[in-house]
Amino acid sequence: MEKAVDFTRLEKNIIEVIQEEQIKLGYRSELIRLYYPITSLNRFFHTDAAEKEMLELLAEFSKKTVQTLGGVEISNKGERFCIAIPPSGVDYVHEHTNGSEFISSFIETIGKHGCTIDELLQQFHRYSDHVHVERTTHGEFDYLVYFEDGVPDDYRYCITDEGCHLIYHRFTPEDYEDFQF
């Protein structure tokens, strides 16, 4: 008998990405498409699935999350997978989940014209005494910041100073480790 795949981490990630988008852009009942490489999906599921098997796993994921994400549609081009969350799934996230207080204050701060790295780091320190801050030298971005104990989240925030504003990307720890600097 095959071991059941745990879809919790991917579902949580999708919900957090939708919450982040709703904080940035506001809530709209609309289709959202998210793209994942097969390596990320395999890490979420603790599998080593090839393309065909991943399509099967994602079809099962769609069935298991129909009550929350509304029956996602799956497509792919090679090892790049698209998960399309229908408006009913986006509505569910808006109506039944609470976004992170940290990510809300983070987005509000970084969205202000002239925001400095010190102001942004203050937001991290408001939520934890265990904040890792690293000035990078590889040129891809300027700072790597994250909560060392994973609370309130375990994402890696890659921050770039564009002169008049800061921009960011956030990654799971495993996806961040995939970068070759």
Q: Which of 46, 36, 94 is nearest to 69 (CA)?
A: 94
Asked if the model's pLDDT at residue 79 lies above 80, the reply is: yes
Q: pLDDT at residue 2 above 80?
A: no
Short-list 7, 175, 14, CA closest to 84: 14
Taking the CA atoms of 56, 17, 175 and 78 in sequence, report the sign of the dihedral they define: positive
Amino acid 129 reads D
Enter the pTM of the model.
Answer: 0.93
Q: Is the pLDDT of residue 33 over 90?
A: yes
pLDDT given for residue 99 in this prediction: 83
Q: Does the pLDDT of residue 47 top 90, yes or no?
A: yes
Take residue 121 and report the two structure tokens written for it: 């780091």
Domains and CATH numbers, the chain: 8-96 (3.30.56), 101-177 (no CATH)
**Quick one: what percent of the chain has pLDDT higher than 70?**
98
> pLDDT of 120-154, one tens digit each?
999 999 999 999 999 998 889 999 999 999 999 99
The rounded mean pLDDT for the chain is 95
- Express the helix, strand and coil content of the chain in percent, nearest 5 each: 45, 20, 35
pLDDT of residue 1: 40
Give the DSSP per-residue string, 84-135: EE-HHHHHHHHHH----HHHHHHHHHHTSTT--HHHHHHHHHHH-S-EEEEE
> Does the pLDDT of residue 181 top 70, yes or no?
no
Judge whether residue 119 has pLDDT over 80: yes
